[in-house]
Structure 1
Amino acid sequence: MTYTARRRLLAGTAAGLLTASLGVALSSTATAAPARTTAGACTISTLPYPTDTYRAEADAIDPSGRFVVGSALRVLDTGNQNVLLFWDGQQLTETEMPGRNGVNPVDVNESGIVIGNGWADGGISQPWTYRDGKFEQLPLLPSTAIVVSAINAAGDIVGYGSDIVPGEYVGLRWPAARPGTVEVLDAPVNAQPVGITRNGTIVGQAGPFGDWTGWVRRPNGKVKPLAVAGGGSTVVNAAGGRWAIGQVWLGGNNPAKVRWDLRNGSHTILDPEAGLDDVNAKGVVVGGALVTRGATSRVLPGGGTRINIGARSIADTGAIVGFRNADRVTPVRWTGC
């Protein structure tokens, strides 16, 4: 499903690491005029949320469309309170994370297992899982920071850490078949996994700052490049089903937005203004105010003058979740888009 390689706020240094490694790629603005239509049958609705919070938003939806996870901020006299929001259909559960600063959910799978990033006491980065109303810390390796980025239907989790090997990023996997363990992935040097599919295929980027290469790791351990012929630096953003999305420099000042077919490595150039927050098993891409199918994007309803919307995640059913900011930030869901 999604890691908005992005693009999601991670706690403290973890956020800084992501910004340092990916910020240039993700801030580029396309100049070509894309095809644009309005999502006629598409509707927006507000998810239930704690009305006493300062802001609330939805960050991820599982492929089945049942579970949604997000976060909220409650301002108290004693300080800010970060709250995890978990929706099972329309039923909301809110849970505070004691002993951690920041609630940064990243992904949720079809079993309702949530993964996210935060800080443990003492300022140490601490990725976590949330299931059946309980938080658990994920095991770590000695590192300056570790983040998680995606979880699949089996419960396998991927992420990466810095300085496990001095001066490098290292790809990591927390295998569902071996609870309580974390393993270093056999992946390219400076690997940063950002997505894992149902069958265990992992995608990511690797390499030094500004000279990234995309890669895909098959369930049998074989690693192949995710690239575009003649292309340069490549950033991979997310994966879903047989698809992966990202950006490739093909010359000029702005990268091309690309969707790869993981079966054979072929690619499609997307609308240059497409948001690359997530892709589902049908290859539909979402991000910002747009839902994109190939070269054509549709504008999601709910935005307007001084009203911002942002699509964060899309289920295989087509349901989309994100936020709407009209005087206050609220969690929303789009359907029929």
Structure 2
Amino acid sequence: MTHTARRTLAGLTAAGLLTTALGVAVSAPATAAPRGTALDTCTISTLPYPTDTYRADAYVIDPSGRYIAGDGLRKTESGNQYLLLFWDRNRLTEVEAPSMATPVDVNADGVVIGNGWGNSGQPWRYRDGRIEQLPLVPSAYGLFVTAINKAGDIVGLGSDTDTGEYFAVRWPAARPGTVEVLDAPANAQPTGITDNGTIVVTAGEFGSWTGWVRRPNGRYDALTVPGAQTAQVNAATGHWAIGHVDLPDSPWVAVRWNLRDGSYTTLDQQLPLLDDVNAKGVVVGGDRVGRGTTSRELPGGGDGVGIGARSISDTGTIVGFRNGERLTPVRWTGC
């Protein structure tokens, strides 16, 4: 699983850093009015979040639906206090961050990865109640994680100090404390890694992107659509990947690829964004969830109230935000 709009930050050492489980306020669930038939069970509820924050958000959920990660912001006498928020079912743990930090992905063991801790821009990993920094590539000007799989393998990208070109990196779970630069097409930006080690990549110069899939044996196959002028891959889970292609008469077409054979399906073009896909091929983005070639609007929005779905588990639970009087983390079920 992986998620678009990747965020940047950095790690602290694992020496007992600022991790404190605090009391939280549980907002009453907000349930949408029935839409369509009386059997519609799609509902939205607010996740627990700290009472003294003025904004809180949920970014990622693991495939099992148990673990969720997000962030929050509270005002103090000295200024803003940034928070990382980790949910294990409904139990919330806060981690104070020295600057803005955002989770990027979480696996079924509850291991969270993210970017942007402190001032160094170094990526981090949260596991067993601790934040730890990930090793860096010396030649990189900026290094960012983008996805983690069940085994704990992490992929990301760096920018070369001399050329400015992007390159693909992997932190292998089998070799703790190491990072490797992958052989990949020029300007490769990995956006997902599946449980069998398959990696999806967008590569190429700005405006001339091509999608690729890297097989576990290291072979690369193109991931595109016949006649497409460009292809971007946003996320991957199981044997599914999602992204956009530009066709001669149809720019920005949303598609879902089958990674086993490279075949594709055009998605409902009402999906404004493609943020995540689960192992069943269900897609979320913006205020909609897509199944097959159709999509539906998620409940919870309305006049002056915005919603956004960011991540979906294999069980169908969706997490994201609701922005009304304040930004709050929410969860949709039965959709």
TM-score, length of structure 1 as denominator length: 0.88
2:72 aligns to what? Answer: 72
Q: CA deviation at 1:89?
A: 0.4
Q: Superposition RMSD on alpha carbons, in Å?
A: 1.5
Deviation digits for residues 142-174 of structure 1, max 9, x if unmatched?
211111000000000000000156231010000
2:208 aligns to what? Answer: 211
| Gap change, CA 1:165 and 1:176, over 3 Å in 2 | farther
2:274 aligns to what? Answer: 276
1:88 aligns to what? Answer: 88
Deviation digits for residues 271-321 of structure 1, max 9, x if unmatched?
112130000000000011100013211111111111100000000000000
Amino acid at match of 2:135: P
2:110 aligns to what? Answer: 112
- In structure 1, distance between residues paired with 2:42 and 2:3: 24
- In structure 2, distance between residues paired with 1:153 and 1:130: 15
Amino acid at match of 1:280: N
Give yes or no for contact 1:269–1:294 (8 Å, CA) kept in 2.
no
1:146 aligns to what? Answer: 143
Give yes or no for contact 2:277–2:283 (8 Å, CA) kept in 1.
yes
Give yes or no for contact 1:307–1:324 (8 Å, CA) kept in 2.
yes
Q: Which 5+ residue runs of structure 2 have no aligned equivalent? A: 11-34
- In structure 1, distance between residues paired with 2:275 and 2:232: 13
Deviation digits for residues 11-33 of structure 1, max 9, x if unmatched?
59xxxxxxxxxxxxxxxxxxxxx
Larger CA deviation: 219-228 vs 289-298: 289-298
Amino acid at match of 1:62: D
- In structure 1, distance between residues paired with 2:164 and 2:87: 39
| Gap change, CA 1:8 and 1:169, over 3 Å in 2 | closer
Give yes or no for contact 1:38–1:300 (8 Å, CA) kept in 2.
no
Q: Which 5+ residue runs of structure 1 have no aligned equivalent? A: 13-36
**Counting helix residues as a fraction of each chain, which structure ranks higher?**
1
Deviation digits for residues 51-85 of structure 1, max 9, x if unmatched?
11010010000000000000001111101111110
Amino acid at match of 2:112: V
Give yes or no for contact 1:38–1:298 (8 Å, CA) kept in 2.
no
1:135 equivalent to 2:131? Answer yes
1:47 aligns to what? Answer: 47
Deviation digits for residues 219-261 of structure 1, max 9, x if unmatched?
1111111010011111110001100000000124631001000
Deviation digits for residues 64-116 of structure 1, max 9, x if unmatched?
0000000001111101111110000011111112xx42111000001100000
1:222 aligns to what? Answer: 219
Correspondence 1:1-337 to 2 at 5 A: 1-4=1-4, 7-11=5-9, 40-97=40-97, 100-120=98-118, 123-142=119-138, 143-163=140-160, 166-252=163-249, 254-274=251-271, 275-337=273-335
Q: CA deviation at 1:117?
A: 0.1
Percentage of matched positions with identical amino acids: 64
The structure having more radius of gyration, on CA atoms, is: 2
Amino acid at match of 2:111: I
Which consecutive segments of 4 or more residues in structure 1 shift more than 4 A?
none
Amino acid at match of 2:288: L
- In structure 2, distance between residues paired with 1:315 and 1:165: 40
Q: How many residues align?
A: 307
